[in-house]
Structure 1
Amino acid sequence: MRELTPAQADDLYELIGERAGHSMILTSNRAPVDWYPLFPNPVVAESLLDRLINTSHQVFMNGPSFRPNKRPGRVASTDKPDTH
């Protein structure tokens, strides 16, 4: 994620507000506390994150990235030893 423009922040705030009380899946590679600097208005950031965090079920995942395995031209590795 990168810093939002004021219009983008307002749009995201409205979207989250409209979805309040409905199912939504949101993913991020940043902790919620790291979102604050992305918003030009700290009041909008606090309100949006308050709505998201206080009504959510959070799942934290740690581990290696799967992106390197998806690069074009990469041969998928196997766990089976070569028997030839």
Structure 2
Amino acid sequence: MRGEALGHLAVRQGANVRFAKTSRILADLAGGHADRTWAKRIRELVRPDVLIRDDFAMRQLTAAQADDLYELVSERQGRSLIITSNRAPSDWYPLFPNPVVAESLLDRLINTSHQVIMNGPSFQPNKHPKSHTDKPPIS
């Protein structure tokens, strides 16, 4: 939700914005390797004034995914990139299979960014079903 709100603000100020979950971006780029449209797909991700990648670092990456992220960040250098994550940046390194790619990519992300750390309860509605112990007693 935080990334979407920043995207809405950027749109209101006239920016071209693209918002997508990181997993969806990676799947799209993987499809580009399969059908030989990778260059076109990466250009589409570089084009917007602001690219918002939601849910970054949710799971370990494959070597191909890490390479795609590296290329995307490299191509967008100097352009606005917003990343939301539930993990601290220091926890991102082990998710990359190649420490050299991790260091290079994360150095570009972390050392050239403004970080906003938000702590507190989630703004996501609680969608978990209540357990049977949460039911009021029957009289």
Whether 2:89 is the aligned partner of 1:35: answer no
Deviations 1:36-75 (A, max 9, x none): 11000000000011001111011110110122x25399xx
Letter in 2 for 1:60: I
Aligned pairs for 1:46-65 (under 5 A) are: 46-65=103-122
Larger proportion of strand? 2
Q: Any gaps of 5 or more consecutive residues in structure 2?
A: 1-57, 130-139
Higher relative contact order (CA 8 A, sep 6+): 1
TM-score by length of 1: 0.79
Aligned residue pair count? 72
TM-score by length of 2: 0.49
Letter in 2 for 1:9: A
Aligned pairs for 1:6-25 (under 5 A) are: 6-25=63-82
Q: Any gaps of 5 or more consecutive residues in structure 1?
A: 74-84
The share of aligned pairs that are identical, in percent, is 78
Q: Distance in 1 between matches of 2:112 and 2:76?
A: 11
